[in-house]
């Protein structure tokens, strides 16, 4: 089993040897390896059972260091970096040859961000290389927001997990790039669209793709529990499943249901706070997935602010191929 602790020097030693380490960020926990070492990158894909056509995100300690592995930094994207880094923003930028093809799935742009977590930023400052760090979970499953989530799923495959406590944001980063002169959001996430538009003006939001994604985290079926996950009007779904005799759990935005045992329901934010709902989403999905029920029933959030990113994750959790 993986050791859990906050020993930055130990985490660094594993990474410098080409091994993988679980790291905290403000969004979710990452499965980190040397992004410039193709063998370490291959080990990330192998450990997660992640398809090699799904690109990875590079994590570095500062805006100034990005020039080490990107060949150009368009002015509008630099404005976003200056405003929101460190933070839950990933930028797609033209890569230098130093970045292995496996990181970008052979694409000519690399996804980059500066995470906002003190332990991981200190670690990154002490490394001579950026870290490739997708979410630290088996591919397609619910993203981890606590060190214990990482240990439960990948603890037998990695030596160390840097414990930074629960993630403050709880949703993956928002991924932004450019197509011509147009700013494009490739993945909704922990940074709201309105915040981005305040800096660079109107943006285009791209639908996620089912194959050959142009950015990380675009696949249809993703962030999913093992149990069947149904989205809809909760009152209707509850009535249907009760009539059918199904044992179920409920994930709501703010409502509690008197007829359902407390241990089989979670309200993401009784105070109707979308930031709180985002922070609690993955841990709640994980907890209900471990509950002895046949199906999980859930509802969409208000389609405003972070609600759009939460709904993106909920819809993809409910996709069944």
Q: Which of 116, 115, 67, 125 is nearest to 93 (CA)?
A: 67
With 80 as the cut, is the pLDDT of residue 260 above it? yes
Domain assignment present for 223: no
Q: Which of 170, 205, 240 delimits the end of a domain?
A: 205
- CB of 134 closer than 8 Å to CB of 104: no
Name the pLDDT band for 316 (thresholds 50, 70, 90).
confident
Query: In terms of domains, do 242 and 285 share one?
Result: yes
Indicate if 191 and 244 belong to the same structural domain: no
The binding site for L-threonine consists of: 27, 113, 133, 173
Instruction: List the one residue out of 247, 250, 212 whose CA is nearest residue 230.
Output: 250
86 and 22 assigned to the same domain: yes
Point out the annotated binding site.
27, 50, 59, 113, 133, 135, 143, 173, 187, 223
- Asked whether residue 170 is assigned to any structural domain, the reply reads yes
Whether pLDDT at 209 is above 60 = no
- The answer to whether position 198 is within a domain reads yes
Using the predicted structure, report yes or no on whether residue 211 has a pLDDT greater than 70: no
Number of domains in the chain: 2
State how far the Cα of 157 lies from the Cα of 155, in Å rounded to an integer: 5
CB 25 within 8 A of CB 150: no
Query: How much is the pLDDT for 162?
Result: 98
* b (16+ CB within 10 A) / e for 285-299: bbbbbebebeebbbb
Verify that 135 and 172 share a domain, yes or no: yes
CATH number at residue 104: 3.90.870.10
Residues 194 and 104 both lie in one domain: yes
pLDDT of residue 123: 98
Are 252 and 298 within 8 A, CB to CB?
yes
Structure tokens at 166: 């629960």
> Is 221 within the bounds of a domain?
no
Chain centroid, CA 170 distance in Å: 8
- Cβ pair 4, 163 in contact under 8 A: yes
Q: Give domain status of residue 292, yes or no.
A: yes
Q: Which of 320, 302, 143, 146 has its CA nearest to residue 227?
A: 320
Pair 142, 269 in one domain: no
User: Does residue 215 fall inside a structural domain?
Assistant: no
* Cβ neighbours for 198, distance < 8 A, ≥ 6 positions apart: none
Residues 184 and 274 in one domain: no
When pLDDT is cut at 50, 70 and 90, the band that residue 251 belongs to is: very high
Residues of each annotated binding site for ATP: 50, 59, 135, 143, 187, 223
What is the rounded average pLDDT of the residues 246-254? 96
The answer on 252 and 152 residing in a single domain is no
| One domain for residues 260 and 128 | no
Task: Report yes or no on 213 lying in a domain.
Answer: no
Q: Are 104 and 200 part of one and the same domain?
A: yes
In the predicted structure, residue 39 carries a pLDDT above the cut 70: yes
User: Tens of pLDDT along 123-174?
Assistant: 999 999 999 999 999 988 999 999 999 999 999 999 999 999 999 999 999 9
Per-residue pLDDT reduced to its tens digit, 49-101 = 887 778 999 999 999 999 999 999 999 999 999 999 999 999 999 999 999 99
Asked whether 127 and 8 are in contact (CB, 8 A), the reply is: no
Looking at the fold, whether 107 and 43 belong to one and the same domain comes out as: yes
- Of 142, 170, 205, the one marking the end of a domain is 205
The answer, yes or no, to whether the previous bond of 86 is cis (omega within 30 of 0) is yes
Q: Which domain holds residue 244?
A: 229-318
- pLDDT band of residue 186 (cuts 50, 70, 90) is very high
140 and 16 belong to one structural domain: yes
Residue 161 inside a domain? The answer is yes
């Amino acid at each position: 089993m993986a050791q859990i602790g906050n020993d930055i020097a130990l985490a660094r030693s594993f990474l410098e040897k080409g091994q993988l380490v679980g790291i905290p960020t403000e969004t979710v926990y990452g499965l980190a390896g040397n992004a410039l070492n193709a063998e370490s990158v291959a080990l990330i894909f192998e450990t997660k059972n992640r398809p090699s056509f799904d690109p990875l995100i590079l994590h570095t300690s500062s805006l100034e260091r990005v020039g080490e592995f990107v060949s150009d930094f368009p002015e509008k994207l630099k404005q976003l970096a200056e405003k929101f880094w460190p933070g839950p923003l990933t930028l797609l930028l033209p890569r230098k040859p130093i970045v292995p093809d496996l990181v970008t799935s052979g694409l000519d742009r690399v996804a980059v961000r500066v995470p906002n977590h003190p332990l991981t930023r200190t670690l990154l400052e002490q490394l001579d290389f950026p870290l490739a760090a997708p979410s630290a979970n088996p591919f397609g499953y619910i993203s981890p927001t606590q060190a214990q989530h990482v240990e439960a799923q990948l603890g037998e495959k990695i030596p160390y997990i840097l414990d930074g406590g629960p993630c403050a944001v709880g949703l993956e980063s928002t991924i932004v790039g450019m197509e011509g002169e147009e700013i494009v959001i490739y993945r909704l996430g922990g940074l709201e669209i309105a915040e981005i538009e305040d800096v660079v003006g109107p943006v285009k939001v791209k639908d996620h793709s089912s194959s050959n994604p142009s950015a990380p985290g675009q696949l249809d079926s993703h962030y999913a529990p093992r149990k069947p996950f149904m989205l809809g009007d909760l009152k209707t779904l509850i009535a249907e499943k009760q009539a059918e005799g199904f044992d179920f759990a409920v994930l709501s935005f703010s409502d509690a249901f008197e007829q359902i045992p407390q241990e089989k329901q979670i309200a993401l934010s009784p105070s109707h706070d979308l930031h709180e709902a985002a922070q609690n989403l993955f841990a709640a999905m994980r907890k209900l997935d471990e509950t002895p029920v046949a199906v999980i029933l859930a509802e969409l959030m208000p389609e405003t602010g972070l609600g759009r990113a939460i709904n993106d994750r909920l819809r993809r959790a409910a996709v069944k191929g």
